[in-house]
Every structure is written in C-alpha cells, then in structure tokens.
Amino acid sequence: MDRTLGLVVPAFRPDPDRLAAYVGHLERRLSPAAIRIELDAPRDGVREALAEVPATVHVVDRRRGKGAAITDGFERLETDVLAFADADGSTPADSMADVVAPVLDGRAALAVGSRRHPASTVTSHQTLVRRRLGDVFAVLARWLLDVHLYDYQCGAKAIDADAWSRVRDHLYEPGFAWDVELIATVGALDLPVAEVPIVWEDRPGSTVSPVPSSLSFARTLLTARHRAKLLAEDPLHAAIDRYRATRPALVDRSEAGR
C-alpha cells in the first residue's frame, strides 16, 4: 500500500506569485495527499492572491516563527509522512521528491535536504558572509551533535509520522533553529537519518539577520546538545537540568496542540 505524503510550506510575508507557482510545482511533482501553507502576518492582497493555489492556506496575523508554523502544520496533517519546504522555492520540486523518497520507502525516519553535500548542485550562492557563517555553524554542529551532516539548516526535510509522534514533545524552538533541534532529537532517539543532496538556488530577501542569528544558532546548538543528552539519559546533563528553568514544549504552545 502506498504511503501518503503531507507537505507544509511555512511562509512569512512571501512573494505570492512565486509561492503560488512553487506550490503548483510541488503539487504536480509530488502528488501529496495534502499541502498546507502556514502563512504568517500576510501583507494586503496575499490571501486573495493565493485563493486558487492547490493547498489549504492557514493564516495567522502574527509572526509565529518557522518552527512554530511547521509544528502547527504537522499537527494538522494526517498522513504517513510529513515534509516541509521553504516558501521561497530554493529547493525545486524535483529535489523535494528526492528528499521525501527515503522516508516514503522506509529507509529513514528523517530525511534532510543538503545544500552542502558534495553531490549537491548550488546554482546561485549566498553572500560571502552568509556562506562563511554557514560553514562555521555546520562544523560546530558536527562537533556538538551526534548526527553528523554536511547541512543542518536547509529548508527541505521529511519525517515519518511515527517518528514525529516521538519527537514532537521534545521540540522547543519556534524559529529557524527548530531544524537543528529536530535533527538532534531524532539522533538522540537513535532513529535513522538520511542526508539527501539537492539542487539549490539562493533567493534574495532572507528574513534571517546573519550576526544576531549566528549568535542565536550557537546558543541553540548548545541547547539542542543538552536536550539530546537528556533524552539519552546522560547523568551530567540530568544534573545540569535540575537548575534550568522549564517551559512547555512547542507543540503545547501551538494552536493545533491546544
């Protein structure tokens, strides 16, 4: 029996024409059972521009953050595999099909699209500053986390629904750092991860500021490592955690999880 695919596209003030075209490409290439656009703080006219898109458009008038938007979308899907793709279309539909394939056929619990994989094709590069920060982040992540990848932050990932049910209660980051926390948590639970080379094109207009985000991501790496060690029942990190303030998991703060 074929497994079903659900796709979430988190979007914060997107270019509606680009987003509509991209969702159309995804629908034709992947034939998902469901597509959800999680649309945050849209400008005037964006909802109307997306009226004919082959997707459910869920609009929130505030900015939730990428991780919170994806979590809300995943919680509303009822498919065997859950995937997300960034709204700017940097990952073409053919590459998204490559990303979801290892999860659809049962080879991996989590599949991670990778711009930095040696077999990937990058057709347009980020600025030098962003590339260098990304390089440093990837090195630190490989050093600190148990899952060793070339790329942790690419906006193209897929996860098995059963795996999602195991990791959802251990995710806390509402923003761009959610990707890293997801990978670290899957690794801590000893679930198989596949890194998939993709074709990728940088799109202008990123909502991530390089320097503040790099500092935030560094903190996230340490926090993700700590939470992963807790899941692995590391005694040192269990002792440290006794002195840390606790907060609800992201799914408990999400609209869908309430």
Tens digit of pLDDT for each residue in 114-127? 999 999 998 866 56
Residue 95: per-residue pLDDT: 98
Residue 127: per-residue pLDDT: 62
Maximum alpha-carbon separation in the chain: 54
The answer to whether 117 and 150 have CB atoms below 8 angstroms apart is yes
Distance, CA of 120 to CA of 7 (rounded, Å): 22
Distance, CA of 62 to CA of 41 (rounded, Å): 5
Tens digit of pLDDT for each residue in 18-50? 999 999 999 999 999 999 999 999 999 999 999
Domains and CATH numbers, the chain: 5-253 (3.90.550.10)
The answer to whether 174 and 248 have CB atoms below 8 angstroms apart is no
Helices (H) and strands (E) in the chain, counts: 10, 9
